[in-house]
Structure formats: structure tokens, C-alpha cells
């Protein structure tokens, strides 16, 4: 039961991060940054489906890595600048992005350690 609830939470966080990046992509971010936002949106959607559909450690690791890399890129952009962007951490998409990506990291790591107690068919 805990495993299933945790999978839903992680998938919701992945979809939330994907939604934020898709929204930002529609706001016409220029150049490679815009392309990366679209790729992040697609990756979040694919990982959310994988977390729900595949009971394996790999989607959990993917969710944690996705959250860590995306959050790391944002921290760089908000502090020293990253790929020509320098964010200010002063908008709703930035707040939601940080929250959902932190949940992806924590939830993905937790999923790596939670055992699914469902019996395996022979």
C-alpha cells in the first residue's frame, strides 16, 4: 500500500514538473533553453508513466535523477546563471518547479528503499 501511494505521489510530482516546463516552453523561451524545457516536459511525462506502470528500481532512480538534475540546473540559473539564463525565484512556475522537483528527489529515493510486498507470480 505504501509503495503504491508513494508511486502516485512521485508520478504526480513528475507530471507537475513536466507541466511547469511545458508552460514555460509555451512562453517562448529562446534558443536551446526552450528546447530543453520541452525535453524536460516530455521526460517528466514518460517517467511518470514508467513509475506507475513498471515496478522496478529503474523508474525510481530516473525520477530521483530527473528531479536532482532539473533542480540543480534551476539552482545554477537562480544563483550564477546557467546557459544564458539568470532567474530570480519570484514567480509561481519557479515555486512549483522547485517543490515538485524536490518531491521527485525525495520520493524517488524513498521508492528505491520501499519494498513492494505484493506476491510475485511464478
Chain centroid to Cα 40, Å, comes to 8
Q: Is residue 64 part of a domain?
A: yes
pLDDT of residue 48: 95
What's the DSSP call for residue 91?
A: S
Q: Is the residue at 83 inside a domain?
A: yes
Read off the C-alpha cell for 25.
516552453
Residue 40 falls within a domain, yes or no?
Answer: yes
- CA neighbor of 59 nearest in space, from 117, 1, 116: 116
Overall domain count for the chain:
1
In which domain, by residue range, is 31 found?
Answer: 1-88
Handedness of CA 100, 105, 106, 112 (dihedral sign): positive
Residue 39 lies inside a defined structural domain of this protein: yes
Q: Distance (Å, rounded) from C-alpha 88 to C-alpha 101?
A: 17
- CA dist 96 and 98 (Å) reads 5
**What's the pTM value of the predicted model, to 2 decimals?**
0.84
In a domain, 99, yes or no: no
Query: Would you say residue 104 lies in a domain?
Result: no
Query: Would you say residue 121 lies in a domain?
Result: no
93 in a structural domain: no
**Three-state secondary-structure class, residue 85:** strand
Q: What is the pLDDT of residue 119?
A: 61
pLDDT tens digits along 60-96? 999 999 999 999 888 887 787 666 666 676 778 788 8
Amino acid at each position: 500500500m505504501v509503495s503504491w501511494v508513494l508511486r502516485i505521489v512521485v508520478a504526480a510530482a513528475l507530471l507537475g514538473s513536466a507541466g511547469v516546463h511545458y508552460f514555460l516552453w509555451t512562453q517562448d523561451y529562446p534558443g536551446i533553453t526552450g528546447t530543453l524545457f520541452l525535453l524536460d516536459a516530455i521526460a517528466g511525462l514518460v517517467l511518470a508513466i514508467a513509475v506507475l506502470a513498471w515496478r522496478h528500481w529503474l523508474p525510481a532512480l530516473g525520477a530521483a535523477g530527473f528531479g536532482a538534475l532539473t533542480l540543480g540546473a534551476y539552482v545554477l540559473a537562480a544563483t550564477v546563471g546557467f546557459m544564458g539564463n539568470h532567474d530570480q525565484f519570484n514567480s509561481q512556475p519557479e515555486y512549483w518547479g522547485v517543490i515538485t522537483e524536490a518531491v521527485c528527489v525525495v520520493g524517488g529515493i524513498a521508492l528505491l528503499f520501499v519494498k513492494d510486498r505484493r506476491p510475485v507470480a511464478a
